[in-house]
Structure 1
């Protein structure tokens, strides 16, 4: 795909270097046991990025992929009108590569990511939210969490139940942000973030133990969906 994009950009009069981002390490969450190992160190995966920003499994900005993309430097040297033309050409060439290699239609990378996300959502709705056994496990899971003092919204679907903890701690992170910036802070020091991560790890392990039966069934299903979406769209679609 990248070579097709580079050739296409050259034909349109622009410099573009075929570049494939190194695949970012991803945590193994395919089994209950793997989830437990992850949560013992990273909790739900929210505050750990500030405690250990160089650990690629935290998803921190410092370990973000794409920072070494040579095309970023090319784009930075363009003036406003040149950059607009460059981006339009890049989107067009992206669409050409997607059509030729993946046999799909996407007129920009953003549209491609939305297409990929939609495919994932459809699979999760059918195979996870549509799994009657997973749905039946939620009441006992929720009751256990409430008994431990954790808040659980009512009538949650399996996908929402699995993401509940992450969402709750992301909300806590957002609350620490500057009201003017309206977003999560990016300047928490490891010492400032550590107490939040400790509470997050405790909550994440409680969530996992309360939902042991749930996650034993959920984890391999989610891993299967991840693998199939990547096989169809590529890891960097």
Structure 2
């Protein structure tokens, strides 16, 4: 979740909730709740003196990492998914700040928000949050205090399922031990041998590297780095990502579909709150 903190901040400050950059495409629903939720929000905003256009965000393209072959293809270009956003800022699969900004800008409500002064914007965002809470209760039958509260519930639900179905999976635990031994043998640091920690180890290591490159005054903001400056880091990341995948071929073959199932279930339950 750390890599999207600034993406969420950007979206929420602009009055538009967004899901984590790596979240899967929402599963198809027999009855999509989003049109009704958007209409409730529009009516609610009108009652509070604001114009709001019901808007459903287009599906965001997501990388296929469901099989070993698909994961290898992804990692050959994007590594663990950290520095690729700086090397390929216009690529929607990189999860870059540029694609996030474009998504926000495409929302027709942004033109309306742009006409508000600071005081009006504050009232607008509070009203929109309250209207989203109202729509969530009426349509999804979920009690949340805010959109951010919904994000926290989504995170907690995901972590609970991961602990039970991945860290609690005996076969994955056994496969994780082999992956850890292979990585240690190649001189890689392995802080934990739990399946989820191992699956996130590479991303976490390179995300922490961006923190060391970021000016302390820019904490919480996207790293300011050119594609040319980021390329050596991505090349290193790709090398280590492919090494990690080869060490854990058996592990990832079992992990990938289980984790994709968890994300789809969680996103299917909480995604409509975020407009997905």
Calculate the TM-score normalised by the size of structure 1: 0.93
- Given the superposition, is the C-alpha separation of residues 184 and 206 from structure 1 closer, same or farther in structure 2, using an over 3 Å criterion? farther
What is the rounded CA distance, in whole Å, between the counterparts of 1:26 and 1:100 in structure 2?
Answer: 30
* Structure 2: segments with no counterpart, 5+ residues: 1-36
The 5 Å alignment of 1:70-85 reads: 70-85=108-123
Alpha-carbon contact 2:132-2:147 (below 8 Å) kept: yes
Quick check: 1:234 aligned with 2:245? no
* Alignment partner, residue 245 of structure 2: 208
Q: Does 1:11 align with 2:68?
A: no
Distance change >3 Å, CA 50–CA 177, structure 1 → 2: same
Q: Deviations over 1:27-64 (max 9, x none)?
A: 11122221111001100001111111111100011111
2:214–2:224 CA contact under 8 A, matched in 1 = no
- Checking the alignment, whether the CA contact within 8 Å between 2:213 and 2:223 is kept in structure 1 is no
What pairs up with 1:141-160 in 2 under 5 angstroms?
141-153=179-191, 155-160=192-197
SS in 2 for 1:66: helix
Query: Equivalent residue for 1:92?
Result: 130
Say whether 1:23 aligns with 2:59: yes
Question: For the Cα contact (< 8 Å) 1:92–1:108, is it kept in 2?
Answer: yes
**Is the contact between residue 94 and residue 107 of structure 1 (CA under 8 Å) also seen in structure 2?**
no
**Would you say 1:140 and 2:199 are equivalent positions?**
no
Specify every segment of 5 or more residues in structure 1 that has no aligned partner in the other structure, as ranges.
none
Shifted more, 96-105 versus 181-190: the winner is 181-190
Contact 2:82–2:206 (Cα < 8 Å) also in 1:
yes
User: Are 2:232 and 1:195 aligned?
Assistant: yes
1:149 is displaced (CA, Å) by 1.9
Residue 218 (str. 1) matches residue 255 (str. 2): yes
Shift of 1:84: 2.5
Q: Report the aligned-residue RMSD.
A: 1.6
Q: C-alpha separation between the residues in 1 aligned to 2:131 and 2:272?
A: 19
* Greater CA drift, 204-213 or 83-92: 83-92
Match of 1:62 in 2: 98
CA offsets 1:134-159 (integer angstroms, 9 cap, x no match)? 11222221111112121111x43211
Q: CA deviation at 1:185?
A: 5.3
Q: Write out per-residue CA displacement over residues 172-231 of structure 1, whole angstroms, 9 at most, x where no aligned residue.
A: 111111132235653311111111111100000000011111101100001111221222
Matches within 5 A, 1:112-123: 112-123=150-161
1:146 and 1:50, CA in 2 relative to 1: closer, same or farther beyond 3 A?
Answer: same
